[in-house]
Amino acid sequence: MTITNKEEIQKFSDLADEWWDVNGKFKPLHMFNPTRIEYITENIKNHFNIFNKKNGLLDSLDILDIGCGGGLISEPMARLGASVTGIDASKKNIFVASAHAEKSKLNIKYLNKSPEQMDEVEKYDVILNLEVVEHVDDLNLYIKSCYKLLKKNGLMFTATLNRNITSYIKAIVGAEYILRWLPIGTHDWSKFIKPEELEKKLSDENFSTVDIKGFHYNLLFGKWNKSENLSVNYIITSSKN
């Protein structure tokens, strides 16, 4: 069994050379990164009781970044001291990520794999699923695979897009057709998932919800902010029971 969708993999493979171009096709992720990294690190600090550290905030933590792409999240996590493994179903993405990490003198382990192909003996303190679940073929298998790879009491971040008329207008019509932030066809609205649906799937696999937050883009200031509004972009932080 596999969770991967060849068409979805090809979409991002075709764009792989642009991962680190801050004004290229992945400009929205570069803009989004500071806000979501702040959210992720704050929840990690609270969950693992990491306080009063001036340097090496994430030292001693093993992080798995699933669907790592070119390494836009893997690299900041490594700079904060974590031992990072990034996996992606696209060979081209892994090549780009590895080359950039080497250039940046960062020791990140990159693998051309999907979660169900990983060795379950190796487990992680934190799993990052950022903008991945809306691209997989079998979400139930995906979540089961993540559960097996996470340490007991480990933390998982699952970020995706809500499925409603607002998300269709903003994420599909707005981001792809009007603002041209993303190539047309990047997202399939039917694969978006409502927060309550995702939370139930996580709960069914023995994950406990720690927090749910939305992310809102302010067009006036050109900045992303955390929000209680889950209508478009949202993230669920959950722990393994």
One pLDDT digit (tens) per residue for the chain, 241 residues: 455 567 766 766 666 678 999 988 788 889 899 999 999 999 999 999 987 676 778 998 999 999 999 999 999 999 999 999 999 999 999 999 999 999 999 999 999 999 999 988 889 999 999 999 998 989 999 999 999 999 999 999 999 999 999 988 887 887 666 767 666 777 788 889 999 999 999 999 999 999 999 999 887 887 899 999 999 999 999 999 8
> What phi and psi values does residue 211 have, to the nearest 5 degrees?
-165, 150
Instruction: State the Cα angle at 193 between 192 and 196, rounded to 5°.
Output: 160
**Through-space distance between the first and last CA atoms of the chain, rounded to whole angstroms:** 25
- Domain residues for the domain of 113 are 6-240
Q: Is residue 35 part of a domain?
A: yes
The pTM assigned to this predicted structure is: 0.89
Q: Is residue 213 part of a domain?
A: yes
How many domains are there within the chain?
Answer: 1
Q: Is residue 1 part of a domain?
A: no
Q: Is residue 214 part of a domain?
A: yes
The per-residue pLDDT for 168 is: 84
Q: The domain spanning residue 92 has which CATH number? A: 3.40.50.150
Tokens of 113: 């794999």
Q: Is residue 150 part of a domain?
A: yes
What are the counts of helices (DSSP H) followed by strands (DSSP E) for the chain? Answer: 7, 8
